[in-house]
């Protein structure tokens, strides 16, 4: 199941990685330039990232307790650390902060150079004594620069469900205060609710950064008491704003679910109306076509049951029972016709028929095919036949290509593949549909097109003539000779086999 906010998180993450890569490249030349140019690019990155968070994730931030921050000079921020989100906001929340981190990070290729250029406080953790000295020396240096010092008292990112007992606060922050005599300002936050550690999906909402009253140096309190006070203040406030965030997020998810369900219901209702409308139109079109066939003077007899349309809510399915069409020359019987397609424009239609029987007066016996199976697509007056398979016992013909339907004559551009053609020709001879001599010539001609047992050729058209390879196999009626016998008006149904009656 797709997690909530997966799509917008994916878009954001891809944008984030691309923007990060671009800014890393832009930062390269600033490594040899004065630090102000480097920091200008860093500030550009964090503000671009904040823009992406706001407009893609729907994730904003709010700052509370800003009045507790000194207007100038150096001070210590004891920050809760739940995710990468707050690290991207440190240069927005503070003016050129110095972040306390482990010295090993400076050894990361390229990234370590960027950290060093940021002028961080790197702790050498080779021994506890060396670690405290490097921390205090770095803090004194930054204090002289008048920059705020940012330290995460728990030493690492801590998930919202992890308590201070599991990840206790460390004494390092107290050692910084002892060396600098600066106020410690606790900072609570709820970033882990919206921007969880090592999670792909982020959540929309408002991140809270809340500064608490400063904890000043005191000779009346020992290091443990001050550390406990910092922990109590940060953990208490963090728990409160996290609970508010969770409650708001639940309400937002419930509201989003209601909107989603309503949209889904509207979509389903619209689809249902559309499905039945299209199926009704198809039914009318088929009925009108059947009426046209019945009333055509060139058709002596037509028998065919009404179309049946079904399949909701899936593909529209059409079923026609036995169809019989009789003209002065032939009788065509199709046992059944079935077709199905989705009710949307340009959707492919799959179709099949039952047995097809053709009776022509001068034939001794009728010609019977096992049926047709195919798939076609109609769009912009072009019938695209993806496949059309006609079988006659062991003989199979496969057709594919396009037929452009124009006002005068259709334009054919089809590929034909035929297997076991000789069986079909023999059947035509046995039923005296063609003569043995004509069959011999046809076999020779087809054998010339054969390769690996398959005859490959084309069906093309030129004007009103249709060609199988280079052989003319059919001619459409000349439009000047096409008349309906009753009133002499031009008709697309009349054929050249019927003698035209001149107009009166």
> What does each C-alpha distance from 501 to 10, 90, 293, 294, 478 come to in angstroms?
72, 94, 21, 21, 14
The terminus-to-terminus CA distance of the chain in angstroms comes to: 74
pTM score, whole prediction: 0.58
Q: What are phi and psi of 343, to 5 degrees?
A: -85, 50
User: What is the model's pLDDT at position 503?
Assistant: 44
> What does each C-alpha distance from 412 to 349, 350, 468 come to in angstroms?
19, 20, 10
Segment of 73-87, 396-410, 434-448 carrying the highest mean pLDDT: 73-87
In the predicted structure, residue 495 carries a pLDDT above the cut 70: no
| Residue 239 to residue 1: CA distance in whole angstroms | 30
Contact partners, residue 200, CB within 8 Å, separation at least 6: 3, 6, 9, 10, 13
CATH number, span 61-262: 3.40.1130.10
In the predicted structure, residue 275 carries a pLDDT above the cut 60: yes
Task: Read off the pLDDT band of 64 (50, 70, 90).
Answer: very high
User: What is the model's pLDDT at position 85?
Assistant: 95
Collapsed DSSP state (helix, strand, coil) of residue 465:
strand
Domain residue limits, the chain: 61-262, 296-481
In the predicted structure, residue 58 carries a pLDDT above the cut 50: yes
Average pLDDT, the chain: 87
Of 336, 283, 353, which is closest to residue 311 (Cα–Cα)?
A: 283
Mean pLDDT of 432-438: 78
Per-residue tokens: 362: 């001068």
Cα torsion through 143, 144, 148, 153, rounded to 10: -20
In tens, the pLDDT along 161-171 reads 899 999 999 99
SS3 letters across 225-275: HHHHHHHHHHHHHHHHHHHHHHHHHHHHHHHHHHHHHHHHHHHHHHHHHHH
In the predicted structure, residue 181 carries a pLDDT above the cut 50: yes
Cα torsion through 74, 80, 84, 85, rounded to 10: -80
User: What is the model's pLDDT at position 491?
Assistant: 46
| Residue 504 to residue 499: CA distance in whole angstroms | 15
Which range has the worst mean pLDDT, 50-54, 85-89, 127-131?
127-131
Long-range contact pairs involving 116-121 (C-beta distance under 8 Å, separation at least 24)? 117/30, 117/31, 117/35, 117/38, 118/38, 118/39, 118/42, 119/35, 121/149
Per-residue tokens: 349: 């239609």
Contact partners, residue 38, CB within 8 Å, separation at least 6: 27, 30, 31, 117, 118
Strand 465-468 relative to strand 471-475, pairing: antiparallel
In the predicted structure, residue 3 carries a pLDDT above the cut 80: no
Mean pLDDT of 36-62: 95
Residue 383 host element (H or E): strand 382-392
List the beta strands (DSSP E) in 8-154: 59-64, 76-79, 98-102, 121-123, 149-151
Burial-class residue 123 by CB neighbours within 10 Å (0-12, 13-18, 19+). buried
In the predicted structure, residue 497 carries a pLDDT above the cut 50: no
On whether the CB atoms of residues 300 and 317 are closer than 8 A, the answer is no
Per-residue tokens: 132: 């405290």
Of 205, 193, 99, which is closest to residue 152 (Cα–Cα)?
A: 99
**DSSP structural state of residue 305:** P
In tens, the pLDDT along 286-345 reads 888 888 888 888 888 898 888 899 999 999 999 999 999 988 878 899 999 999 999 988
| Residue 438 to residue 269: CA distance in whole angstroms | 61
Q: Percent of the chain scored above 70 by pLDDT?
A: 92
Task: Read off the pLDDT band of 478 (50, 70, 90).
Answer: low
In tens, the pLDDT along 365-386 reads 888 889 999 999 888 888 899 9
| Residue 240 to residue 243: CA distance in whole angstroms | 5
Contact partners, residue 383, CB within 8 Å, separation at least 6: 376, 377, 402, 403, 404, 405
Q: What are phi and psi of 152, to 5 degrees?
A: -100, 105
Burial-class residue 59 by CB neighbours within 10 Å (0-12, 13-18, 19+). buried
Burial-class residue 174 by CB neighbours within 10 Å (0-12, 13-18, 19+). buried
Number of helices (H), then strands (E), in the chain? 10, 24
Strand 411-419 relative to strand 454-462, pairing: antiparallel
Of 219, 74, 43, 206, which is closest to residue 139 (Cα–Cα)?
A: 74
């Amino acid at each position: 199941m797709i997690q909530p906010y997966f799509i917008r998180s994916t878009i954001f993450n891809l944008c984030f990685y691309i923007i990060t890569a671009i800014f890393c490249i832009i930062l390269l030349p600033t490594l040899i330039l004065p630090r102000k140019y480097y920091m200008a690019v860093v500030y550009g990155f964090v503000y671009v990232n904040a823009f992406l968070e706001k407009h893609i994730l729907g994730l904003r931030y709010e700052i509370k307790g800003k009045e507790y921050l000194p207007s100038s000079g150096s001070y210590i921020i004891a920050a809760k650390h739940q995710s990468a989100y707050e690290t991207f906001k440190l240069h927005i929340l503070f003016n050129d902060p110095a972040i306390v981190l482990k010295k090993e990070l400076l050894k990361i290729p390229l990234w370590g150079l960027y950290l060093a250029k940021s002028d961080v406080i790197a702790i050498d953790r080779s021994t506890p004594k060396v670690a405290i000295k490097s921390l205090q020396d770095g803090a004194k240096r930054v204090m002289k620069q008048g920059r705020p010092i940012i330290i995460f008292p728990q030493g690492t990112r801590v998930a919202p469900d992890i308590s201070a007992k599991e990840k206790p606060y460390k004494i390092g922050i107290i050692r910084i205060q002892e060396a600098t005599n600066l106020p410690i300002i606790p900072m609570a936050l709820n970033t882990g609710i919206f921007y969880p550690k090592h999670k792909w999906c982020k959540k929309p909402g408002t991140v809270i950064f809340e500064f608490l009253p400063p904890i000043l140096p005191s000779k009346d309190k020992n290091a443990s008491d001050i550390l406990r006070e910092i922990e109590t203040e940060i953990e208490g406030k963090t728990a409160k704003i996290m609970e508010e965030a969770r409650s708001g997020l639940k309400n937002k998810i419930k509201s989003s679910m209601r909107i989603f369900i309503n949209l889904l219901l509207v979509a389903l209702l619209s689809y249902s109306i559309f499905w039945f409308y299209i199926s009704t139109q198809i039914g009318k079109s088929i009925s009108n076509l059947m009426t046209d066939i019945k009333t055509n003077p060139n058709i002596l007899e037509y028998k065919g049951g009404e179309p049946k349309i079904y399949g909701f809510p899936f593909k529209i399915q059409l079923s026609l029972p036995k169809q019989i069409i009789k003209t002065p020359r032939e009788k065509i019987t199709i046992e059944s016709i079935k077709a199905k397609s989705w009710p949307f424009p340009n959707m492919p239609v799959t179709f099949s028929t039952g047995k097809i029987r053709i009776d022509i007066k001068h034939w001794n016996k009728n010609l019977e095919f096992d049926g047709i199976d195919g798939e076609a697509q109609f769009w912009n007056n072009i019938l695209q036949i993806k496949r059309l398979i006609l079988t006659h016992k062991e003989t199979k013909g496969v057709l594919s290509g396009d037929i452009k339907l124009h006002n005068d004559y259709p334009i054919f551009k089809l590929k034909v593949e035929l297997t076991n053609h000789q069986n079909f020709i023999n059947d035509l001879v046995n039923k005296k549909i063609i003569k043995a001599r004509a069959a011999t010539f046809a076999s020779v001609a087809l054998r010339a097109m054969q390769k690996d047992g398959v005859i490959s050729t084309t069906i093309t058209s030129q004007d009103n003539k249709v060609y199988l390879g280079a052989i003319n196999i059919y001619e459409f009626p000349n439009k000047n000779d096409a008349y309906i016998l009753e009133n002499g008006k031009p008709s697309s149904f009349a054929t050249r086999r019927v003698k035209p009656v001149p107009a009166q």
